Amino acid sequence: MRRPRQRSGVLYPARKGEIPRPPCGGLGMTEGRPGAGLGMARRLVPRGFTLLELLVVMAIMAVLGTLTAAAFVGISRRASREGAAEDVMGLLRQARVSAISSGRGALVRINPAEGSLYGVASKVVAAWHFEQVDGGETPGARRMNASTVGDPAVAPGVEGLCLEFDGADDAVNCGQYPVYDQTDGIRLEAYVYPVGADPSGMAGVMAKLDEHDRRGYALWLNRVSVTGAGTFAVKARVYVNDETNAVAASDKWRLDLDSGDVLIQGSKWSHVAFEYDGFEARLYVNDVLADLDSYRASEAGNIVPDPNPLTDRGFEDDPPALIMPARGGALYDNLLIGAVYDGMSYHDFQGRIDEPRVLSVAGGQRYSVPERVPMLATEPVLHFDDEGQLDIAYHAGPVYVALGDPFQMAELTANLASGVTAFTVGPTNPFPPAGGVLMVGEELIHYQSATDLMVVPNERGYLTTADTPHFAGDPVYFARVIEVPTTGFAQRAE
């Protein structure tokens, strides 16, 4: 009877004269030959690598690893720049949407030195129309009511009705709602019809100001003339980043604004507004900027000049600086309309107030471009109007933001004087051969080709000849440019 044989796990009958083999992969694997017995089977010995082969393989792997790492670094550098460009465009577009949705406009501050962008927008959190006064209650915005103090009279307003204050004990107590303690920034605004002031000349419009602890904010009028119906200056105050109750320390963190020569007339409706956004405080009279104070000791670097430099007082900290809210238990810690407390007494409004509003002026999260990606901007602040377009009061044309490529950079091989149109870089020129935009110092320069670095003068608003001297060794980057046209919609510049 034939002995069964196994192949690949299947049993087969053994042929005559064939030596039975164990299953493949067994520990007793042998190589059989005709006529050979089990004792003559040859064991298969695995063959190893020689030292030379191992060294060759290791060298190949090292080379491949170096190439892969270099490629990854190049990709990550480009990705960081391109990702930053997308992020910047996204932030600028969000600011435009916020400007439209809030109806108040928005702004974006750009700090190339620290590579950051900071968006600021505002929205109404409380407003009073004074159309109804029933049992001492005045309906407010977002279901926040306010109680009258004293007995202000109902009178004709700018549109409809308003409240008339007697200058003695009338006010509106708006309470301690959290929205009144905006820390990022705040805006107060109202229509006022002043007819007088107290013996000190003050007439409070809106305030939430604890003068004992040097906290909060306030907006008031100050009578400067009693001739005829009288004339009034507009004043405001805000305390920021003060961690002590000491008067001397508090004064270092206080911003005071004064309309100066921009006055309002008594017995006449005027619109007054004060706002602070973490960087600077602005005072408006009938929509005209009357004063501006910021964290700088001087506003010399601002796009819009300060109309009243006599009141400059820069707070001693890097922006944004937070408002110190007044959160005590006394009446003056509440938001008051028609009165302001100066630490010793109340100063009541005499006349009419209509449409007072509180707006949250909130800064979005600061965005920082990736490390080693330089950034330039043709203007430090982008102002969007309530239609999402660039505000023509601040911008005469498009604004450009450029991001440099750390992988495509060189340096000037010779000084570049102002007005010169040709320059050279070294040690090699890594820039695209078809031409493009370079970041040279704090300027953006358009060149024709990689072999002919010739400035293209006045081709676009942001591409000019060298306006300032640059020196040999200064870094030169190939730039990706974002354009914000007058329509306000950020896009890649062509």
Q: CATH no. for residue 435?
A: 3.55.40
Same domain for 209 and 335, yes or no, is yes
Same domain for 110 and 172, yes or no, is no
Same domain for 108 and 154, yes or no, is no
pLDDT value at 317 more than 90: no
Cα-Cα end-to-end distance for the chain: 90
The three-class DSSP label of residue 92 is: helix
Q: What is the pLDDT of residues 430-455, one digit of tens each?
A: 788 888 888 888 788 888 888 778 76
**Most confident of the following: 208-212, 350-354, 361-365, 378-382:** 350-354
Q: Closest Cα to residue 304, out of 380, 240, 361? A: 380
Same domain for 304 and 237, yes or no, is yes
User: Does 22 reside within a domain?
Assistant: no
Sign of CA dihedral 376, 379, 385, 388: negative
Output the pLDDT for position 252.
66
User: Does 439 reside within a domain?
Assistant: yes
Q: Closest Cα to residue 392, out of 485, 255, 305? A: 485
Same domain for 297 and 374, yes or no, is no
pTM of this structure: 0.67
Q: Which of 363, 392, 419 marks a domain boundary?
A: 363
Same domain for 167 and 139, yes or no, is yes
Same domain for 206 and 285, yes or no, is yes
DSSP labels, 125-167: EEEB--S--BTTEE-BGGG--EEEES-PEEEE-SSSEEEEEES
Average pLDDT, the chain: 78
User: What does the block give as tokens for 306?
Assistant: 């300060």
- State the residue range of the domain holding 411: 80-115+369-492
Rounded to whole angstroms, the Cα distance separating 233 from 229 reads 14
Compute CA distances 205 → 192, 303, 336, 340, whole Å.
Answer: 8, 30, 8, 7
DSSP state of 331: G
Q: What is the pLDDT of residues 122-146, one digit of tens each?
A: 888 888 888 765 555 555 544 467 8
Output the pLDDT for position 203.
96
Q: What is the pLDDT of residues 293-311, one digit of tens each?
A: 876 555 555 556 677 777 6
Q: Kindly give, in sequence order, each residue whose CB lies less than 8 Å from that of residue 381, ignoring residues fewer than 6 positions away.
A: 107, 108, 109, 110, 303, 394
Percent of the chain whose predicted confidence (pLDDT) is above 90: 26
Find tokens 């309530």 and name the residue: 386
User: Does 18 reside within a domain?
Assistant: no
CA torsion angle 425 68 369 122 (round to 10): 140
Q: pLDDT band at 28, cuts 50/70/90?
A: very low
- The CATH number of residue 302's host domain is 2.60.120.200
Same domain for 236 and 310, yes or no, is yes
337 in Cβ contact with 356 (< 8 Å): yes
Q: pLDDT band at 200, cuts 50/70/90?
A: very high
Q: 6-10, 84-88, 264-268, 392-396: which has the minimum mean pLDDT?
A: 6-10
Q: Which residues pair with 223 in a beta bridge?
A: 232
User: Does 66 reside within a domain?
Assistant: no
Same domain for 411 and 294, yes or no, is no
User: What does the block give as tokens for 45?
Assistant: 């010995």
User: What does the block give as tokens for 42?
Assistant: 């040859």
122 in Cβ contact with 187 (< 8 Å): yes
- The total of structural domains in the chain comes to 2
Same domain for 287 and 401, yes or no, is no
Compute CA distances 124 → 89, 96, 164, 180, whole Å.
Answer: 26, 17, 24, 11
The three-class DSSP label of residue 239 is: strand
